[in-house]
Amino acid sequence: MAALVLLQECVPLQDPLEGWSANHGFWIRAGILGGVVAVGIAAFAIYMIPGVVLSNLQLALIFIGQAVGYPAIAMLVASRWVFPIPFMVLSIISLYVLLFVALFRIIAGKQVFSQMATHRTELILLVSFSGSQSVMAVTYAAYEVLFDHVTNTHYELPVILLLPVIKLIMKNLVSLPMAHMKDMVPEGVIFTVDFFNSMYLATCMQNTSSITTVATMMALDFGQTAISLRSLHRQSDTILSRLREACGISLDNDSLLPVVRLLCHDSDKFEQQSRRDILVTSCLPHKLSPQGRDLLEKLKTLSGNGVRTLPRFSTTAVRSKFKKIQALKPFWICCRRTERVEPSAISTTTVKPARNDPLEASETMKIRSDPDSPHRNILGQTLEVLFFSECLLLTEYLESIIPVLYGLFILLVVNLPSAPYHVDLIGINRDNVGDTLANVYIYAFLEFVSFVTLTLLMMRNCRLQALCHLAFVLETQMLLVQVKLMTWVLMSLSFRVVHFGADFTFQFSWMDQNNA
Could you write out the DSSP letters of every residue in 401-461?
Answer: HHHHHHHHHHHHHTTSTTGGGBGGGTT--TTTHHHHTHHHHHHHHHHHHHHHHHHHHHHHH
CB of 288 closer than 8 Å to CB of 341: no
Model-level pTM? Answer: 0.78
Indicate the SS3 state at residue 344. Answer: strand
Residue 348, CA distances (Å) to 46, 248, 311 in order: 16, 29, 24
- DSSP labels, 222-274: HHHHHHHHHHHHHHHTTHHHHHHHHHT---S---HHHHHHHHHH-HHHHHHS-
pLDDT, residue 104, reads 93
Residue at 377: amino acid letter: N
Q: Any bridge partners for residue 349, and if so which?
A: 343
Q: Residue 32 half-sphere exposure, CB side, CA atoms within 13 Å? A: 23
Cis peptide before 84 (omega within 30 of 0): yes
CB of 258 closer than 8 Å to CB of 382: no
pLDDT, residue 312, reads 65
Q: Which helix (H) or strand (E) holds 476?
A: helix 466-476
pLDDT, averaged per 10 consecutive residues of the chain (516 residues), comes to: 77 90 93 93 89 91 96 95 90 93 92 86 89 87 85 84 88 86 86 89 80 78 80 77 76 71 80 75 77 80 72 55 43 38 35 40 38 69 84 89 89 88 86 87 86 84 81 88 87 84 80 64
- DSSP labels, 203-227: HHHHH---HHHHHHHHHHHHHHHHH
In this structure, the number of other CB atoms found within 10 A of the CB of residue 114 comes to 10
pLDDT, residue 451, reads 87
pLDDT, residue 66, reads 96
How far apart CA 64 and CA 38 sit, in angstroms, is 10
pLDDT, residue 366, reads 38
How far apart CA 3 and CA 164 sit, in angstroms, is 31
What does residue 350 show for φ and ψ, rounded to 5 degrees?
-160, 165
Indicate the SS3 state at residue 349. Answer: strand
What does residue 38 show for φ and ψ, rounded to 5 degrees?
-65, -45
